[in-house]
């Protein structure tokens, strides 16, 4: 057997307890002077505090379910954002985008407008705080420049602190990423190549208008409806199981509720659809399903044996995206 290495005690922290410990990279030495890495020292408490916030990072924002869908499911979409304190001088607009060229976190265009990317890796566990930090830096970036990722203070503002809670959140779903380049003739070769790659990978997607948070998408084998719902997970799974057991969970002939995604505290049921079924043809059955779902959600009766089996099947076909 290999010999155990003698364990040495870490040096005592040298940082004054009356002063806040600065946030640094996880692998960097902790600024407190303990000799340990930040993640094994003061970073533990900061990480724990952030983790408590990430379970549902978009809660409290208008259109929470659409935020989740745009983050995880929709290839190309934009939404105009409204700030609580209005737009700063020289910033004509702020727009949320699913993806930006070269996966930039944000971009300040030549005209001063800001694009904020949603589908990016973030430096901390709180997506809302990370996006708010990027947005604030984008507002003060010189026009014509992208915004790079950066470390985020654990006590910095969140999107809920910056955005107007009363403003509508209505995504505009695009067939491609041409919104990246308003002047395509003058786009760089790098941006043009990134645009071509993104367009080639994009799955055709349409947002339903009759219900909230529902997105139709087309794949080579079959079409799907992915519907982000705000209800508590256990309550929603029970309701779906009741409908499934009663034969009321489909969206019409040759459609089937096949499972769900779990993302950012939201459950996203998924239906398989015939390849010929369009987004427009989903509108009426989706509205009818919402009417059937409401009493199932309100029921507090114990599940029957058949409903429990249906619930187990739905749980087994659940995929966590975040």
123 vs 71: CA distance, rounded Å? 16
Q: For residue 34, name the pLDDT band (cuts at 50, 70, 90).
A: confident
d(CA 99, CA 177): 8
In the block, which residue shows the tokens 């929470």? 64
**Would you tell me how many other CB atoms lie within 10 Å of the CB of residue 97?**
23
Containing H/E element for 238? helix 233-245
Q: What is the pLDDT of residue 121?
A: 85
pLDDT of residue 52: 54
| Residues 51, 198 contacting (CB under 8 angstroms) | no
What pTM did the predictor assign? 0.82
pLDDT band at 127 (very low <50, low <70, confident <90, very high): very high
Question: How far is 225 from 205, CA to CA, in rounded Å?
Answer: 10
Write the Ramachandran bin of 66: left for phi over 0, alpha for psi from -120 to 50, otherwise beta. Answer: alpha
Confidence of residue 11 (pLDDT cuts 50, 70, 90): very low
* Res. 4: pLDDT tops 70: no
Question: Percent of the chain beyond pLDDT 90?
Answer: 69
Question: What digits encode the pLDDT tens for the residues 134-163?
Answer: 999 999 999 999 999 898 888 899 999 999
pLDDT of amino acid 193: 85
Indicate whether 9 pLDDT > 60: no
Averaged pLDDT for residues 210-227: 95
Average pLDDT for the chain: 89
Residue 298 has pLDDT above 80, yes or no: yes
């Amino acid at each position: 057997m290999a010999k155990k290495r003698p364990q040495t005690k870490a040096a005592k922290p040298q940082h004054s307890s009356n002063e806040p410990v600065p946030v640094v990279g996880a692998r960097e030495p902790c600024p407190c002077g303990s000799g340990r890495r930040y993640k094994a020292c003061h970073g533990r408490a900061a990480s724990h505090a952030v983790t408590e916030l990430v379970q549902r990072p978009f809660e409290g924002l208008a259109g929470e379910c659409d935020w989740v869908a745009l983050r995880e499911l929709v290839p190309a979409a934009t939404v105009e954002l409204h700030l609580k304190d209005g737009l700063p001088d020289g910033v004509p607009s702020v727009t949320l985008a699913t993806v930006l060229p070269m996966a930039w976190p944000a971009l300040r265009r030549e005209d001063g407008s800001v694009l904020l990317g949603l589908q990016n890796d973030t430096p901390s566990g709180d997506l809302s705080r990370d996006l708010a930090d990027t947005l604030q830096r984008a507002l003060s970036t010189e026009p014509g420049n992208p915004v790079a990722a950066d470390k985020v203070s654990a006590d910095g503002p969140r999107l809920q602190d910056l955005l107007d809670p009363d403003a509508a959140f209505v995504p505009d779903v695009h067939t491609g990423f041409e919104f990246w380049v308003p002047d395509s003739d003058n786009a760089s070769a790098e941006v043009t190549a990134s645009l071509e790659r993104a367009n080639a990978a994009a799955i055709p997607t349409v947002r339903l208008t009759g219900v909230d948070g529902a997105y139709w998408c087309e794949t080579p084998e079959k079409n799907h409806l992915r519907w982000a719902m705000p209800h508590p997970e256990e309550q929603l799974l029970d309701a779906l199981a009741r409908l499934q057991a009663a034969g009321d969970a489909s969206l019409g002939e040759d459609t089937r509720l096949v499972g769900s995604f779990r993302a950012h505290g939201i459950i996203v049921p998924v239906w398989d659809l015939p390849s010929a079924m369009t987004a427009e043809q989903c509108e009426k059955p989706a509205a009818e399903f919402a009417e059937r779902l409401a009493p199932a959600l309100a029921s507090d009766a114990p599940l029957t044996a058949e409903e429990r089996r249906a619930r187990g099947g739905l749980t087994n076909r659940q995929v966590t995206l975040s």
